[in-house]
Amino acid sequence: MDLRPDSIRKYKSYNNMKKLFVALVIFLAVSVNAQWVQMNVPTTANICCFTKIGTNLFAGTRRYSYNQIGGVYLSTNNGYNWSSLGFANKDIYSIAASDSNLFISFESTVCLSTNNGTNWNYVGFNAMVSELAVLGSKLFAGCFSLNSGIYSSTNNGTNWNLSGLNDSPITKLEVSGTNIYAGTQSGIYISTDNGSNWSFLGLTTHNVSSIAVSGQNLFVGSGNGVYLSTNNGTTWSSIGLSIHTYSSLVVSDINLISASYNGIYLTTNNGINWLAFNQGFNYIPNAGPLFIKDEYLFVGDGQSVWRRPLSEITGIQNISTEIPSSYSLSQNYPNPFNPNTVIGFQLSVVSDVSIKIYDVQGREVQTLVNERMNAGTYEVSVDGMGLNSGVYFYQMRVSDFKETRRMLLIK
């Protein structure tokens, strides 16, 4: 069995079994990374929130049942391994960080750790704090039930003052630049003066579950889809995923990523098209919070923490939704390149697409695309930083279509 593309076979003999074995090992190793990978979290509770301090990643959990172990967890190696920081019998509602301060909320309490969760101090509260956020020197707490509204503290939770939206159950707090946004069960609000005043931005009939900001674009996830405003809330438009409830949203450059009860999706054109990115799960994930740290995208669900290289998701751009007449794979440009280049391809129908890069030995060195995608014209970026100078081949496989092209990396 020869796994190498047809055009590469000209360069090597069929009977070189040693090289074929090496190629197969590398193929398997790289293919495993081209998908979501489950991390070693010692809990089956629902992962509900993430934050980070330096190189440390923290996760908070809620229990589906009382025989589960909840609490707060720490990873010092980007999610590979986790250790418990306590509160195993608690449902953590929110987690936030400011400098070396780590805050969590559960029941009617806020706790603070100044040493990465080794020790904790109770710093309030007397209401169910559903959301925590930090803006400048202020810690904000959004309360959902008793004493609902937004409260703020300038001394790390020792004292609290009502900041606004009293009697409004707070479902989400999001900081972007010098602004803080508040989601409620009946719309979204903004404060541009550090929480002193709040202005209503619309979506009156929507229960806001997530907020993301990218330049002039304000995205909101709700119980009936994702919405976009390009004029600070004056007008809103639905941009899809209407059957996907309780979406979590994150932005990376021009990419908007959504996680919901129906899986994980990406749009590069503000919702005109959405691509599913659920490879690696053996089920449709009940995806919860999304979080970006270093070069990885993390997602929590009802079973564990999952991780995937961010470059695998954000490297694909949908440049046209016009339906091509056939499948095609374009020559990369620039070519030769150093260290980045772009590959274009077209799909005439909804397809399971694979685009991979091989060296002249027939060894797979990168998986660029391994997804089910809508018809259209796409570009995928290639990062050759970790590759040596030389000739490489990239191959596209779709159904019974297969095409291979040659490219040259010169450093």
With tokens 């169910």, the residue in question is: 128
Structure tokens at 289: 């919070």
Distance CA 409, CA 302 (A): 43
The answer to whether 221 touches 228, Cβ cutoff 8 Å, is no
Per-state percent for the chain, helix, strand, coil, to nearest 5: 5, 50, 45
Q: Which residues pair with 173 in a beta bridge?
A: 182
Would residue 149 be called left, alpha or beta, if left means φ above 0 and alpha means ψ between -120 and 50 degrees? left
Please state the φ and ψ torsions of residue 160, each to the nearest 5 degrees. -130, 145
* Prediction pTM value: 0.74
Burial of 211 (0-12, 13-18, 19+ CB in 10 A): buried
Secondary structure of 287-298 in HEC code, one letter for each residue: CCCEEEECCEEE
Report the pLDDT value the prediction gives residue 314, as an integer from 0 to 100: 67
Helix (H/G/I), strand (E/B), else coil: 25: helix
Report the pLDDT value the prediction gives residue 107, as an integer from 0 to 100: 84
Report the pLDDT value the prediction gives residue 26, as an integer from 0 to 100: 32
Beta strand ranges found along 41-137 (DSSP E):
46-53, 56-62, 71-75, 83-84, 92-98, 101-106, 109-113, 121-124, 129-135
Distance CA 383, CA 257 (A): 21
Burial of 115 (0-12, 13-18, 19+ CB in 10 A): exposed
pLDDT along the chain (411 residues), means of 10: 48 40 35 69 84 95 80 94 91 93 92 95 86 94 88 93 92 94 95 95 92 92 91 92 79 85 84 80 82 91 85 74 91 93 93 92 86 85 86 94 96 89
Residue 238: which residues within 8 A CB-CB, separation 6 or more? 225, 226, 227
Burial of 120 (0-12, 13-18, 19+ CB in 10 A): middle
Residues 25, 27, 33, 39, CA torsion sign: negative
Could you give the strand order of the β-sheet that contains 170-176, starting from the edge strand earlier in sequence?
A: 170-176, 179-184, 187-191, 199-202
Report the pLDDT value the prediction gives residue 30, as an integer from 0 to 100: 36
Report the pLDDT value the prediction gives residue 21, as an integer from 0 to 100: 37
